[in-house]
Amino acid sequence: MPAAPRLITLMTDFGLKDHFVGVMKGVIAGIAPRARLVDITHEIEPCQTRQARYLIGQSWRHFPPRTIHLVVVDPGVGSARRPLLVEANAHVFIGPDNGIFSDILALPKAKARELTNRKLWLPELSATFHGRDIFAPVAAHLAAGITPAKAGKLIKDALQGPSMAPVRTGKRFWTGEVVHIDRFGNLITNLTPLDMPELGQRRAALKVGYEVIDGLSPNYAAAAPGSVLALVGSGGAIEISVNQGRADRKLGVGLGSPVELELYAVD
């Protein structure tokens, strides 16, 4: 029985107004016509590598082994930054060496390769579209059957970005940040119950912008329409929301905005 077609996911900051995503898919189709493509998102904020890092971390585990994940958020395109391939947990990740794969590289037995085999790239290389010229063709060649070892040499110094974990600033205090804003305007933070096991025995107060939120709600509907609330979202992180509204606009905050959390005893 022939092997099942390889699955390639795509994540970029290209949006859908321009031709970039479609051209990448065309390159893949020309090399690996049997590959299956899944768009995770093309709406990452331009050049926001930290947001891309968060979203690939939220996504890859939900795909089957042998999936190839193509992530192109590349403010350093055309510079000396290296093109990268990472193997981890039976998945393959392809994209720029700019920190977007920091958490993948931290997984046990993860291996990184610099993409050096130019035979797998398009013949003409532009200075501004490596998604088309390098990353998409390499992903396609992998889907068509080449091994990662043929794509490039192993390296030990792939870029590791700053930690995404919140900072504990006191016995009962943490400082996190907004790492993603979803389509509904919810502010997704890097604060999780895993970081603070005391959360089950204490009440949380969160401060974001000028807003202070007392306690975590069980769901969005627990607050009145238009009211601000905090809850643990589907990805396991605390998010700040407005029931039937947009927290980003109501609170006037964006990516990277600090979020302070305090735990205090329940009366």
List, for residues 20-52, the tens digit of each pLDDT value: 999 999 999 999 999 999 999 999 999 999 999
User: Do residues 150 and 171 share a domain?
Assistant: no
* Residues in contact with 8: Cβ distance below 8 Å, sequence separation at least 6, in sequence order: 28, 32, 35, 36, 37, 38, 67, 68, 69, 70, 139, 140, 143
What is the CB-side half-sphere exposure of residue 9 using CA atoms within 13 A?
20
Sign of the alpha-carbon dihedral angle for 123, 127, 129, 130: positive
Integer Cα distance of 158 and 100 in angstroms: 10
pLDDT in tens, 229-250: 999 999 999 999 999 999 999 9
pTM of the model: 0.94
User: Do residues 101 and 15 share a domain?
Assistant: yes
What CATH number should be reported for the domain holding residue 117?
Answer: 3.40.50.10790
Q: Spell out the alpha helix ranges (H) of 13-96.
A: 20-31, 49-59
Domain count, the chain: 2
What CATH number should be reported for the domain holding residue 213?
Answer: 2.40.30.90
- Tell me which of 94, 128, 155 is where a domain ends: 155
- Tell me which of 92, 124, 155 is where a domain ends: 155
